[in-house]
Amino acid sequence: MTAAIIGTGLIGGSMAIALKAHGLADTIIGVDASEAHALRALELQLVDQVLPLKEAVQAAKLVVMAVPVDAMNELLPQVLQAANQQQVVMDVGSTKEPICALAAVCDNAGRFVATHPMWGTEFSGPDAAVKGAFSGKATVICNKEASDADAVALVEQIYQKLQMHILYMTAAAHDVHVAYISHISHITSFALANTVLEKEKEEDAIFELASGGFESTVRLAKSNPAMWVPILMQNRENVLDVLNEHISQLRKFKACLEKENYDYLRELMEQANTIRKVLNRN
């Protein structure tokens, strides 16, 4: 099978590696708005060749769209218009409701399958692509009924071969859940990094004293704003809801310290400890 990867960065590049490694594609065509990224993807052998968008789509059985979610607004209609009834187009973006609404009014809408593999790092670009990225992780297929059955079947086969756990939900439900599970984590990390940079003026102190706990907490603050600003824009209402709850929780901790209510402070921490039961169910 020939696959076209539109966007040869972290997710697209890692998907290219996975498709080849699991024998799902024998030829990978790369498409990237950045000429430097396209050339680097070739150098790293993530892709076998680079073509313009329309040529790449028409030459491929599978098209994987791994571009920032705002770029999908322009590219998805072009891709679906260039596709035919034997091709499958899937995306791997972090927001789903706006994309699914857009796909619904495009040509060949049934050939599109909305997905979100729940994996990523704070790095970006072709050099960030890694082997074995998706194994053991969850992936979401949204609005399954809106896609042609054979298109969904191919995407399911791909994710099963990649050893991913497939979840099904509506696009609206997906966007609510990722606001709480993923998007708030990034906002918190960005905010904490800014707090430290504002209050701690000694860069050497940050470097020397920052322990593993601090480093892991602010790891996501290294994420690419070009990707995350559009995500937060598209999921604005859900993110605002989770932010309001997060701010409410922070105020509880603040009030405990202001009022020296250490019993309630301990209670809040013990309540937070119960997350272990959820995360360690396996």
Tens digits of per-residue pLDDT, 41-66?
Answer: 999 999 999 999 999 999 999 999 99
d(C-alpha 262, C-alpha 249), whole Å: 15
- Residues with Cβ within 8 Å of 128's Cβ and at least 6 positions away in sequence, in order, are 9, 10, 13, 14, 121
Domains annotated for the chain, with CATH where assigned, are: 2-169 (3.40.50.720), 174-279 (1.10.3660.10)
pLDDT score at 199: 82
Residue 226 structure tokens: 């070009």
Tell me: pLDDT of 244 over 90.
Answer: yes
Tell me: pLDDT of 188 over 90.
Answer: yes
d(C-alpha 173, C-alpha 94), whole Å: 13
Q: Residue 114: which of 82, 134, 141 has the closest Cα? A: 141
Once rounded to an integer, what is the mean pLDDT over residues 1-22? 98
Per-residue pLDDT band for 214 (boundaries 50, 70, 90) equals confident
% of the chain surpassing 70 pLDDT: 99
Tell me: pLDDT of 177 over 70.
Answer: yes
Give this prediction's pTM: 0.91
Tell me: pLDDT of 206 over 80.
Answer: no
Classify residue 151 as exposed, middle or buried by CB count within 10 Å of its CB (0-12, 13-18, 19+). Answer: buried
d(C-alpha 212, C-alpha 2), whole Å: 43
Tell me: pLDDT of 194 over 90.
Answer: yes
In the chain, which residue ranges form alpha helices assigned H by DSSP?
A: 10-21, 35-43, 53-59, 69-82, 97-104, 149-161, 171-178, 184-199, 203-209, 212-217, 225-234, 236-258, 262-273, 275-279
Q: 3-state class of 48 per DSSP?
A: coil
Q: Residue 11 to residues 75, 98, 118, 228: CA-CA distances in angstroms?
A: 17, 20, 10, 14
Per-residue pLDDT band for 200 (boundaries 50, 70, 90) equals confident
pLDDT score at 38: 97
Residue of 25 and 199 predicted with greater confidence: 25
% of the chain surpassing 90 pLDDT: 89
Lowest mean pLDDT among 4-8, 198-202, 258-262: 198-202
pLDDT score at 208: 74
d(C-alpha 49, C-alpha 41), whole Å: 9
Tell me: pLDDT of 209 over 80.
Answer: no
Neighbours of 203 (CB within 10 A): 9
pLDDT score at 153: 98
Tell me: pLDDT of 237 over 80.
Answer: yes
Say if CB 55 and CB 78 are below 8 A apart.
no
Say if CB 213 and CB 183 are below 8 A apart.
no
Once rounded to an integer, what is the mean pLDDT over residues 143-151? 98
pLDDT score at 282: 60
pLDDT score at 33: 96
Tell me: pLDDT of 71 over 70.
Answer: yes
Computed over every residue of the chain, the mean pLDDT equals 95
Residues 254, 216, 41, 89: is their CA dihedral positive or negative?
negative
**Which range has highest mean pLDDT (18-27, 198-207, 215-224)?**
18-27
What is the separation of C-alpha 50 from the centre of its chain, rounded to a whole number of angstroms?
A: 23
Q: Residue 77 to residues 18, 82, 90, 100: CA-CA distances in angstroms?
A: 26, 9, 13, 12
Once rounded to an integer, what is the mean pLDDT over residues 1-23? 98
Q: 3-state class of 26 per DSSP?
A: coil
